[in-house]
């Protein structure tokens, strides 16, 4: 379902933002990852991540519902993906989070890239999942990506009304598209029904009609980011599904349409070309995930968790990941670890944020019999 918590930010004259935070509080001793959900889903898309102790023990997880989604509502009926990116950064401000990694599924992928473009000093790394950085362009279609316009435009036209629609109920076909296309038969029937019920609950009445209409317009009319990708400085780990049943699901649910590929909407031809455009990034990886579906974090949670934890472990900056307002320095909490040594000797350092320097804190020695001697260096 939609987020049960909201927070207000000033963008667009005022936005009430639906969000979920692991542990229900921000822990400044841990790094943070912002999670942005896919089209017509909610923070519930990240249930697998919130239920993974390997992630929640290592990170604050902050899931944010973009404009047009979940419990998020705004004074303005008009918005773009840039507005959702600004909004997400303002949510970080409100919660006292200065810096974060960012993970986004499908449309969430191009929202998090916008966040990094707008605030390059605040986004530590990007994990786009099952996405594309282009608009829905002719070049995109020529390289095997889907053509959503014939599918989605009729819905937009149907949802356009000059008068209020208090009795609006979203139709079964759209429910089926959201529930089935993103998961491609890789989840249980119970999960599919959960998402159908969620779509019905979020997109009802006049406000629901306006939200889903603008969300769909955003998808079709968004601007591409290809010429901006070279401005991204942080690491980028891009995950894309290798094979899914999306194409067959589209044909079954919508029309006997021969466009598309057997992969996710954006396939495996164009995205590998796009990641090469992150020419200023400190590190890029393109990771293909066998099986699963378009909403990779839900259908391949282990692979996504592994990539996220790898990025956090291999982060390229030793900076304060904590809150604002003169938060206490993080000392000897294991956030910044480097190791030096040879075959039989290791010295472990921690990064002392108070003096901005690495300080040796443990000596670890072991003999040929494998006995480890661990000595704390009282500094």
Enter the tokens of residue 253.
Answer: 């649910």
User: Can you give the pLDDT at residue 266?
Assistant: 76
Domain coordinates in residue numbering, the chain = 5-154+223-321
Instruction: Give the span between the Cα atoms of 167 and 208, in whole angstroms.
Output: 10
Averaged pLDDT for residues 322-345:
37
DSSP structure class, residue 16? E
Instruction: Give the span between the Cα atoms of 295 and 18, in whole angstroms.
Output: 20
pLDDT band at 19 (very low <50, low <70, confident <90, very high): very high
Residues near 114 by Cβ (< 8 Å), separated by ≥ 6?
81, 82, 84, 85, 225
User: Can you give the pLDDT at residue 188?
Assistant: 85
- Residue of 332 and 258 predicted with greater confidence: 258
User: Can you give the pLDDT at residue 144?
Assistant: 80
pLDDT band at 15 (very low <50, low <70, confident <90, very high): very high
Any alpha helices (H) in the chain, and if so which ranges? 47-50, 53-56, 81-95, 107-118, 138-142, 149-158, 172-176, 189-202, 205-221, 246-253, 270-275, 296-299, 301-313
CATH architecture of 5-154+223-321: 3-Layer(aba) Sandwich (3.40)
The CA R_g of the chain, rounded to the nearest whole Å, is: 22
User: Can you give the pLDDT at residue 315?
Assistant: 76
User: Can you give the pLDDT at residue 161?
Assistant: 97
User: Can you give the pLDDT at residue 360?
Assistant: 53
Is the pLDDT confidence value at 32 over 90? yes
User: Can you give the pLDDT at residue 14?
Assistant: 98
- pTM attached to this predicted model: 0.79
pLDDT more than 90, % of the chain: 60
């Amino acid at each position: 379902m939609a987020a049960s918590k909201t927070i207000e930010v000033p963008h667009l004259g005022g936005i009430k933002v639906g969000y979920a935070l692991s542990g229900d509080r921000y822990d400044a001793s841990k790094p943070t990852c912002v999670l942005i959900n896919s089209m017509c889903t909610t923070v519930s898309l990240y249930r697998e991540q919130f239920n993974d102790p390997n992630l929640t023990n290592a990170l604050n997880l902050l899931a944010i519902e973009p404009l047009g989604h979940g419990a998020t509502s705004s004074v303005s009926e008009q918005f773009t993906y840039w507005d959702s990116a600004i909004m997400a950064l303002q949510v970080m401000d409100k919660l006292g989070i200065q810096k974060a990694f960012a993970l986004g599924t499908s449309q969430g992928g191009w929202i998090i890239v916008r966040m990094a473009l707008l605030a390059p000093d605040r986004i530590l790394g990007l994990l786009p999942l099952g996405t594309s950085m282009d608009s829905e362009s002719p070049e995109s279609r020529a390289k095997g990506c889907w053509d959503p316009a014939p599918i989605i435009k009729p819905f937009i036209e149907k949802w356009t009304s000059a008068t209020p629609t208090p009795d609006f109920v979203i139709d079964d076909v759209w429910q089926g598209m959201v529930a089935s296309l993103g998961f491609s038969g890789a989840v249980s029937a119970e999960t599919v029904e959960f998402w159908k019920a969620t779509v019905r609950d979020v997109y009802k009445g006049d406000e629901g009609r306006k939200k889903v209409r603008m969300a769909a317009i955003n998808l079709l009319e968004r601007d591409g980011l290809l010429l901006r990708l070279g401005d991204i400085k942080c690491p980028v780990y891009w995950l894309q599904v290798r094979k899914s049943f999306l194409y067959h699901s589209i044909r079954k649910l919508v029309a006997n349409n021969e466009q598309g590929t057997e992969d996710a909407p954006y396939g495996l031809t164009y995205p590998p070309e796009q990641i090469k455009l992150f020419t200023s990034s400190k590190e890029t990886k393109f990771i293909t995930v066998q099986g699963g579906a378009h909403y990779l974090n839900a259908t391949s949670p282990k692979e996504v968790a592994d990539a996220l934890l790898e990025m956090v472990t291999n982060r390229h900056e030793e900076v304060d990941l904590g809150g604002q307002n003169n938060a206490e320095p993080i000392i000897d909490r294991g956030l910044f670890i480097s190791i030096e040594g040879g075959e039989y000797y290791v010295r472990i350092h921690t990064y002392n944020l108070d003096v901005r320097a690495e300080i040796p804190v443990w000596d670890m020695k072991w003999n040929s019999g494998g006995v480890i001697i661990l000595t704390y260096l009282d500094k």
